[in-house]
Amino acid sequence: MVTEVTEGIKISVETAYQPSYSYPKKSLYLFSYRVDIENCSDQAVKLLRRHWWIYDANGMLREVEGKGVVGEQPILKPGENHCYSSTCDLSTEIGKMKGTYLMERIMTGNQFYVNIPEFSMVVNHLLN
């Protein structure tokens, strides 16, 4: 698990290779990831947007941007957290992701970016 804190917002990410949904002969490797967003600040915040950079071992870069996360724009009061899971497909056995969330402080309307720490996605047999 990797973790990073930006302006009192703690982001933790955990990944897992999904062999049942992967097809190595067709260069398709599916990974799941779980993100925990924890508000360690003293103000309520709302997650507005996400921006991901996805890299594979061939040097290919994909960008994914959009509103919220998995169809939600969660509001987190101080001390609250929001967890969600998603997936990423790669054409190689190794890759990585990183990104940002655009957040807004509810009381002031001030917007700010929160770093999503870079995390690796690696097929299990390469780790042995």
Domain ranges of the chain: 2-122
pTM of the model: 0.94
**What are the pLDDT digits (tens) for 17-32?**
999 999 999 999 999 9
**What are the pLDDT digits (tens) for 33-59?**
999 999 999 999 999 999 999 999 999
Q: Residue 117: what pLDDT?
A: 98
- The DSSP code for 103 is E
pLDDT over 70 for what percent of the chain? 98
Which is more confident, 121 or 125? 121
Q: Is domain 2-122 given the CATH code 2.60.120.460 in the classification?
A: no
When pLDDT is averaged across residues 72-82 and rounded to a whole number, the result is 98
pLDDT band, residue 125 (cuts 50/70/90): confident
- The DSSP code for 65 is E
**Residue from 112, 103, 119 nearest 52 by CA:** 119
Residue pair 53/99 in contact by the 8 Å Cβ criterion? yes
Q: CA-CA distance, 66 to 70, in Å (whole number)?
A: 10
Q: Is the pLDDT of residue 73 over 80?
A: yes
Cα dist. 64→34, 69, 76, 83 in Å? 17, 11, 23, 19
Averaged confidence pLDDT in the chain = 96
Q: Residue 128: what pLDDT?
A: 64
- Here the tokens at position 65 are 């941007």
Residue 128 burial (10 A CB sphere; 0-12, 13-18, 19+): exposed
**Residue from 19, 14, 3 nearest 93 by CA:** 19
Distance from the first to the final alpha carbon of the chain: 18
